[in-house]
Amino acid sequence: MDNHLKRELSKIEIPIEIHERSKLGINKAKSEMGGKLKRFTKKRLAIAVLSACLMLPTGAFAYQALLADDLYGSFDNLKKHAINITMESYLLFNAKLDQAKGDLGKDEFKQFKNLLSVFTSAKLDYGDKNGNIDYSQVPAETFEEIKAAMYDIQPYFDKLNGLPSSKEVLTAEEYEQYIQALFTYETTMAQLGVSSAPDVTAIPEESQEEFIKAQEYLNYVNDKQIEN
C-alpha cells in the first residue's frame, strides 16, 4: 500500500466493537418496546460505498492490499467516475468488505463478492458524481442483470447487519416490491443529484407519490425485520 493511503488510514478512527454494539442496541430497543419498534432508522443499500449495509469491523485497519481495489481497480479509478467519493469513504468501504470476509464463510464471501461486482461495475458505467444510478437510463438487459443480483445479495446485507433475511420475512410479492422500492429510492437521488435522503418538496410533483410510497415501504420492511 502506498504512503498516501497509509496516511489516510491513520486519520480514521474505527469504533471498537461497533458490530456487536449494534446488535445489543437492537435487542435492547426490542425489549424496551415489547418487541416492537415504531421506527428503526437504518440507511439502505448505497451501492457505491455500502455505508448502509455493512457494519464497521473491530480494531484498526491492517496495511494490506485493499479488497476494494479488486472491485474498483483503485480509488483513483473510482474517483474518475464518482467525483464526490472521498478517500475516507473508500477506505471505510474496504473495511466493510474485510468485515464481510470475516463474518461470511469462504464460499459465501466468494458468492457475495461476485454479486457485489455487478453493482460496482454498474456504478462505474452509470453512476453519477455521488455514485447513484438513475435506473431508468440503464439498458433493459443490464438492469435485469442488476436486479437479479439485488435479489440474491440483499439477504447477505441483512445477515451482516444482524437482521433476519428480508427474503424470508417477506412474501415473494412483498420482496419484489421491496427490491423495486430500493431502485426507486436510488433513482430519485440520482435524478436530484443528492447524496443523502432527498427532501420530498424538491422532487417533481409528478414523481413525489411514487417516491413516498417507496420510502414508506422501506420503513415497513425495516420495521418487520426488527420485529422478527
Distance of alpha carbon 27 from alpha carbon 23, whole angstroms? 6
Domain that holds residue 82: 3-227
The chain-wide mean pLDDT, for the chain, equals 74
92 to each of 39, 56, 175, how far by Cα in Å? Answer: 26, 7, 29
Give the pLDDT confidence of 10-27 residue by residue, as tens digits.
444 444 343 444 444 445
| CATH number of the structural domain spanning residue 56 | 1.10.3950.10
Length of the chain: 228
Give the pLDDT confidence of 136-187 residue by residue, as tens digits.
999 999 999 999 999 998 998 888 778 899 999 999 999 999 999 999 999 9
Work out how many domains the chain is built from and give that number: 1
